Structure 1
C-alpha cells in the first residue's frame, strides 16, 4: 500500500480528542488520510533559526507523523512575507495594484523551495504518493524531480488562479508555470480558476488541452482538474450541536436584546472585502432608518501577516470605518458594528453562526471560502438563517441558493441585506435545504478522496522532468 506524503508551508500537528482549540476541517481530513496511508506531513515549523541546517523535527501525535524544519529570518522575510504574500497572494487575488516585484523575493522563494526539496527528499520512498499544497510551493515538484523523485506527485492550489492577462505581469511567469508541469495532477478549487490556468498553457506555451483536462508536456500526461474543497461536515455539525455551541449561541442572543444579527468571520485580509462590507452595512442603516436600531453586524476578523504593510493598512482602515459608522448610528444603548480582532474555537463560532439571522460572506475574490459552508451547516433546519455570498467566491458556483451579490456595489449588498432580513421562513427553509445538501455531500472527505484517487492513476514515466527543474533556477 502506498504511503501519502503531504507537503505544505505549515504543518498542523494533530490534537488529542477533547483538546482545546479544535483543528480546521482541512487538517482533520489530511490527518485522516495520513493515518489511512501511514503517511508523513512535512513543512515549516513556523520557528526561526539563525543558521539553516535542514534538521528535521520528527513527531508522532494521534497516529500521524509530522516532520518540520526551521527557517532563517531572511528566508521568512523573502519567501513567506515577500514572494508568497506580497507577490503571489495579491496577484492571484487580482490585486495587481498591491503586487510587489522584487528580485530578492524571487530568489528567497526559490531558495526555500530548494530547502524544502532537500529536506523532504529522504522522507520519500519508492511507492509513496506526494501531495503538495498551495502557492508557497508551486515549483517544489520540479525540484524533487531533479533529485530523482519519480513518484506520483500532485499539487492543489487553495487560492484563485489569475487570468492570463494578469499573470503575465509576473516576472519569469513562464518559468514558474513550467515548473508546475512536473506534477502529475494539478488541482484547483473551481472550473473558473482551472480555465484560467489552461488558457495560459494554450496561449503562452502553445500546449494542447485534451477534452478530459489532460495536458501533454515533454512526453508526460498531466491532469488539470477542479476539486472543490468542503468542510468536515460530520465534525462541524457535531460541534454545532454541542453544549459549548449552545452556550455561545445563548450568550450572543442575550447580548443583542432581541435585535437581528448579521455575522462575518474572516481572516483580516484585503481580499475579504471587509471595508466594502462595512460601507454596505452603513448604506443599509442609512436606507432603512426604521430597521437601523434593530440590526447588529458582528465582524470577527483575526489579524494575520502583521509584518506586511498592506495588512497593517487594512486594519487601520477598518478601525477608522468602524468608529465612523458607530459614531453616526449608535446611541447610548446600541452599537451597530461589533468589530472583534481575535479568533474563536470552532464550536463557539458554530454557536455564533446559529445565533445570526444572516451570514455575510462578501470577499472581493476567494478561492473557495469555507465560512459560507460552515454558516449553512450550523443552522437549524426549522428556522435557518440566510447566506449572502459574493459572486466572486469560489463557493458561489456550488451555492447558487445563497443570495449572490456583487461586493463592489454598496447598493446591491444593502438591498440584499434587507431582502435577507425580510425573507419568509418558507423561502429560507427551501434555500437552506438545497444549500445543506451540497455542503453535506461535497464535504472535505469527498474532496480528499477525489484528489487522492486521481493521484493514484498511472501516467507516462517522468523521463524529462529534470529538464524543467534545471531551467527553474537559471537567471
Structure 2
C-alpha cells in the first residue's frame, strides 16, 4: 500500500500538554490527519556534533521521523543560507541577502541528509511531499540516490521574479534542483508565473503548457495551490473558548474598536510601517485616539541574526515612543505583547477583536487573515484589513486591501473599518467565509496530492548509473 511521506523543517510532535502551534505546522498536521502517513523533519533540538540518526514515533495514523541539528548545521543551514539568503531573496528584500559558500555547502549537506533518510524508508508507490524553502534541493539528491517515486514540493513563501535571483550566485544550481521535482506548488498565481518563468529562462526549458515545462523526456509541472485553514473547526473552537485567559484588556469603552495583529518580528511583516501609519493617523485625526486600540502579538525570532535583533530593538523603541507621544488614560494605544500565544488563545482573541490588521510588505499567504475570518461570530463579525502584498489578498477581495508602503491607504482603511455598518460587515464576512469553506485545508491537500498522483510515470526522472556521494551538490 502506498504511503504519503511529508518533509518539513519543523515537525509538531504529539504532546497533549503542549499548546497548539500555528501556521505551517498546524496546516500540515491538519493535512495529515484523516489520511495518515510519515512526517519527517527537525525536532527543534541542537547537539554539539552532527547526528545522522532519526528518532521514530508512531501516534495514531502518523509516524514521525525526526532528527537533531548540530550547531554547525543550525547556523549554516537554518540561520545561514535558508534564512540569511533565501528568505530575503524570496521576500523581495535583496538588500538583506547574506550569502556565503560555506552556508550553501551546509544547506546542501542537510538536504542530502534528509534524502538519505528518505531512501532508507521509501517503498515503491510512496509519494513524497516536500515543504518550503529549506529543502529546494532534496529531490535532486533523491533522484541521484535512485528514487523514482513521485516527489512534490510546496513553497509556503513567495517566489520572486527571475531578475531577483541574479543576486544569488547559486541560483542556476537551485533551478536545476527544483526541476527534479515532479510537481511544484505555489501559493498564488503570481508565484506560479514567477517560478515557471525562472525555470524556463534559467534552464532553457521548453514550454509544453502554461503549467508544464519539458527538457527532453523530463517534465515538471508548476501550479498554484493556495493554502488554507479548517474554517468550521476554528469557528466552533472560537465560540467555545469563553474563559480563555488573554494578554490584553478589552474593558475599554464600548465605542473603542480593538485591532488584533499577530506577526513574527520580521521585516516582511510591515510592523514599523504600521506604527508610522498610526502615528500619522493620530496626528491628523486626534479623535481616532478614542476610537481604536492596537493589540499586537509580536514574536521575536532569529535574534542571533543582526538584522532581526535590530528590528526587534527598533520596534520596541517605536512602540514606546508612540505610546509616550499619544498617552491615554486607561491603556496604551499600541499594546504590544512579545510572547507567543497558543492557538486556542489566538482564536479567542480573533473572536473578540473588531478589526484584524495584516500589514505584510510581502507574504506567501498569511493564515492569520484566514483564521481571523474563520473565528468570527457570524451575527456580529469583525473587519479584515489586509495588505495587497499578502498572498491571501488574491482570494480575499472583500477585505479592506491596503498598501503597507502608503500611510494614507492604511489610514483610510482604519477609518472605514471603525465606521462600517453592521450590514456591510456581515456581507463582507459571508463572502470571505464562503471562500474559506469552498477552499479549505482539505481541498488544498487533496488538489495537490491528486495532481501529484497523476504525474505520468514516463516523465519521472531516470536514476543515474553512477553511485552517489556525500558531495553530490558539488557535481553540477
Sort the TM-score into its range (normalised by shorter chain).
Answer: over 0.9
> Structure 2 matches for 1:296-307, cutoff 5 A?
296-307=293-304
Task: Give 1:80 shift.
Answer: 0.4
Q: How many pairs align?
A: 472
Aligned to 2:376: 379
C-alpha change, 1:33 and 1:202, in structure 2 (3 Å) is: closer
Aligned to 1:189: 187
Preserved CA contact (<8 Å) 1:26 1:231: no
Deviation larger for 254-263 or 184-193: 254-263
Preserved CA contact (<8 Å) 1:245 1:349: no
- Which whole-Å CA distance do the structure 2 matches of 1:466 and 1:286 have between them? 66
Aligned to 1:102: 100
Query: What TM-score results when the alignment is normalised by the length of structure 1?
Result: 0.94
The partner residue of 2:356 within 335, 353, 359 is 359
Preserved CA contact (<8 Å) 1:239 1:245: no
Aligned to 2:176: 178
Aligned to 1:3: 3
User: Alignment partner of 2:207: what SS?
Assistant: coil
C-alpha change, 1:266 and 1:256, in structure 2 (3 Å) is: farther
The partner residue of 2:89 within 60, 82, 91 is 91
Preserved CA contact (<8 Å) 1:194 1:224: yes
Task: Give 1:121 shift.
Answer: 1.6
**1:439-458 CA-partner distances (Å, limit 9, x unpaired):** 22211111011111111113
Aligned to 1:295: 292
User: Alignment partner of 2:450: what SS?
Assistant: helix
The partner residue of 1:417 within 414, 419, 443 is 414
Structure 2: which 5+ runs fail to align?
Answer: none
Task: Give 1:124 shift.
Answer: 1.0
Aligned to 1:30: 28
C-alpha change, 1:245 and 1:96, in structure 2 (3 Å) is: farther
- Which whole-Å CA distance do the structure 2 matches of 1:252 and 1:404 have between them? 27
Task: Give 1:253 shift.
Answer: 2.6
1:458 aligns with 2:439: no
User: Alignment partner of 1:300: what SS?
Assistant: strand
Give the aligned CA root-mean-square deviation in angstroms. Answer: 2.2
Aligned to 1:52: 50
Deviation larger for 379-388 or 394-403: 379-388
The partner residue of 1:67 within 47, 65, 69 is 65
Task: Give 1:474 shift.
Answer: 3.2
Preserved CA contact (<8 Å) 2:38 2:63: yes
Structure 1: which 5+ runs fail to align?
Answer: none
C-alpha change, 1:422 and 1:6, in structure 2 (3 Å) is: same
Aligned to 1:131: 129
Aligned to 1:370: 367
Aligned to 1:428: 425
Task: Give 1:313 shift.
Answer: 1.0
> Structure 2 matches for 1:67-466, cutoff 5 A?
67-242=65-240, 244-245=241-242, 247=244, 252-254=249-251, 258-459=255-456, 460-464=458-462, 466=464
**1:316-345 CA-partner distances (Å, limit 9, x unpaired):** 010000111001101343310001101212
Preserved CA contact (<8 Å) 1:236 1:377: yes
Deviation larger for 49-58 or 460-469: 460-469
Task: Give 1:169 shift.
Answer: 1.2
**1:284-319 CA-partner distances (Å, limit 9, x unpaired):** 212221221332100111121222111111110100
Deviation larger for 465-474 or 105-114: 465-474
User: Alignment partner of 1:271: what SS?
Assistant: coil
- Which whole-Å CA distance do the structure 2 matches of 1:48 and 1:399 have between them? 39
- Which whole-Å CA distance do the structure 1 matches of 2:465 and 2:234 have between them? 45
